[in-house]
């Protein structure tokens, strides 16, 4: 059944086959040997990527696999999914409904904390989260400060390797989400003298929780119109592939390396409109293009009875939407030879940035102490670290649209 789901997603995103099959096959024995003799902690393990990574690790029977996430319901579903598909392992498999930023989490780490690998997959990933200054502060907390905190805890506990997921939007960022992930990368590399670090930048994860494609599923279930931008194209990987890329980077990434999916004939740009059209037709409906939101909402009440589905496609005009995607800049050193479908960005820790990163943390702490800040305050702190940060502000946000 899971195989059928993944194949359906591949069909919808216009790809003939999976990305990383050859690389996984070539390293199968090493993966089995390393994972089956190691202990793992997954942070943010109940999200789409976290669940995918957890399942990939579970397949190789680790000695210990602990999963932490704030979302209790998703943790329950993760366990049900694993028990119903993969069954059981002899190793210690447990989930913990904890907030990484909490004292309860600190007590959890203090009580044990003995892991070979820590994988941090927690993130605020939506561009829409930067509309208000309060959610934006939480984005900096989750994406940057919690990362720094858990790195320091990992170093203190003698963890062998720390992996943290990044994003393609960290490449020359134009939104605060991408900028927060780029600063997170800088914090990662700054700690690489004390612990081995690797990360991964990758494309949109198709039908991941909260994504536009996941929204398509919800709109169909609730008999509501499908809405999408008609001027945006993206690279997509499946949830399973997101877990596999993180796994490869965590296990085989050398210190300060960023893994990314190589652009080849099996990974092409596709528009949201094309995916929406394929998705609607796969369900037995024909798309009906509407002129505005009101028309689409009204037709959703009756049009599906005629085997048509109302759609409203419009131009993008919201803050922080990047029109192009890239995984690395011209100034980054890239290795495309080591793997078949994975590229690698090589990094060196910049010792000159230690004071800048410390100042960033202090500036955030000062704003919190005052319990008062604006978006401009936070953007100013970010620009102190990323002077070329070209924030795209239009005054309009995704929450203002259907």
SS3 content of the chain, % helix, strand, coil (to 5): 45, 15, 35
* pLDDT > 90? residue 28: yes
Average pLDDT value for residue range 233-251: 94
Q: What percent of the chain is predicted at pLDDT more than 90?
A: 76
Is pLDDT of 203 > 50? yes
- The more confidently predicted of residues 349 and 51 is 51
Q: Over the stretch 223-236, which tens digit does the pLDDT of each residue have?
A: 999 999 998 888 89
Q: CA-CA distance, 350 to 357, in Å (whole number)?
A: 11
| pLDDT at residue 397 in the model | 63
The reported pLDDT for the residue numbered 350 is: 64
- pLDDT of 51 over the 70 cut: yes
Rg (CA), the chain: 21
Task: Render pLDDT for 287-345 as a digit per residue (tens, 0 to 9).
Answer: 999 999 999 999 999 999 999 999 999 988 766 676 677 899 888 999 999 999 999 99
pLDDT value, residue 268:
83
pLDDT, the chain, mean? 92
Query: Helices 176-190 & 133-140, crossing angle to 10 degrees?
Result: 20
Task: Indicate the pLDDT class of residue 362, thresholds 50, 70 and 90.
Answer: very high
Is 296 within 8 Å of 272 (Cβ atoms)?
A: no
Sign for the pseudo-dihedral over CA of 22, 28, 31, 34: negative
N-to-C CA span, the chain: 32
CB-CB contact of 261 with 19 (8 Å): yes
Strand runs labelled E in 127-282: 161-165, 196-200, 204-205, 226-229, 233-234, 236-237, 257-261, 270-271
Tell whether the model's pLDDT for residue 5 goes beyond 80: no
Q: What is the pLDDT of residues 70-83, one digit of tens each?
A: 999 999 999 999 99
Instruction: Tell me the mean pLDDT in the region 42-56.
Output: 97
Model confidence at 130, in pLDDT bands (50, 70, 90)? confident
At 390 the pLDDT is 82
Beta strand pairing status for 64-69 and 92-97? parallel
Domains of the chain: 2-205+237-268+338-346 (3.40.50.720)
What is the pLDDT, as a whole number, of residue 54? Answer: 98
Residue 2 has pLDDT above 60, yes or no: no
Q: What is the pTM of this model?
A: 0.92
DSSP characters over 264-312: STTS--EEHHHHHHHHHHHTT-EEEE-SSHHHHHHHTTTGGGGTEEEEE
Q: Is it the case that residue 1 has pLDDT exceeding 60?
A: no
The residue that leads in pLDDT, 129 or 314, is 314
| Counts for the chain of helices (H) and strands (E), in that order | 15, 16
pLDDT at residue 364 greater than cutoff 50: yes
- pLDDT recorded at residue 386: 94
pLDDT of residue 319: 67
For 83-98, what is the mean pLDDT? Answer: 98
Is 111's pLDDT higher than 90? yes
């Amino acid at each position: 059944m899971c195989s059928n789901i993944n194949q359906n997603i591949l069909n919808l995103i216009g790809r003939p086959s999976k990305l990383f099959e050859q690389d996984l096959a070539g390293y199968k024995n090493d993966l089995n040997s390393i994972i089956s003799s190691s202990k793992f902690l997954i942070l943010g393990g109940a999200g789409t990527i976290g669940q995918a990574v957890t399942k990939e690790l579970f397949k190789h029977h680790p000695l210990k696999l602990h999963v932490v996430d704030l979302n209790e319901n998703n943790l329950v579903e993760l366990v049900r999914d694993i028990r119903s598909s993969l069954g059981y392992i002899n190793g210690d498999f447990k989930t913990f409904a904890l907030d990484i930023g909490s004292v309860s989490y600190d007590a959890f780490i203090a009580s044990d904390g003995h892991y070979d690998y820590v994988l941090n997959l927690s993130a605020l990933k939506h561009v829409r989260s930067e509309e208000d200054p309060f959610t934006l502060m939480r984005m900096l907390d989750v994406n940057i400060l919690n990362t720094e905190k858990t790195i320091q805890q990992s170093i203190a506990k003698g963890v062998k390797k720390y992996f943290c997921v990044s994003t393609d939007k960290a490449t020359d960022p134009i939104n605060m989400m991408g900028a927060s992930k780029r600063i997170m990368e800088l914090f990662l590399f700054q700690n690489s003298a004390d612990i081995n670090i690797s990360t991964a930048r990758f494309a949109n994860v198709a039908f991941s929780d909260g994504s536009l494609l996941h929204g398509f599923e919800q709109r169909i279930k609730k008999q509501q119109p499908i809405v999408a931008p008609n001027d945006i194209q993206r690279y997509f990987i499946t949830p399973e592939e997101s877990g596999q890329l993180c796994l490869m980077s965590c296990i085989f990434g050398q210190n300060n390396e960023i893994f990314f999916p190589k652009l080849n004939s099996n990974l092409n740009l596709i528009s949201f409109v094309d995916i929406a059209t394929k998705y609607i037709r796969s369900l037995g409906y024909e798309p009906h293009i509407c002129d505005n939101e009101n028309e689409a909402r009204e037709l959703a009440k009756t049009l599906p009875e005629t085997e048509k589905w109302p759609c409203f496609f419009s131009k993008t005009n919201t803050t922080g939407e990047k029109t192009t995607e890239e995984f690395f800049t011209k100034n980054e050193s890239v290795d495309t030879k080591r793997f078949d479908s994975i590229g690698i960005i090589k990094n060196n820790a910049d010792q000159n940035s230690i004071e800048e990163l410390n100042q960033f943390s202090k500036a955030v702490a000062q704003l919190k102490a005052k319990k008062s800040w604006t978006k401009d305050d936070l953007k100013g702190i970010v620009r102190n670290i990323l002077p070329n940060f070209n924030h795209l502000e239009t005054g309009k946000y995704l929450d203002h649209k259907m």
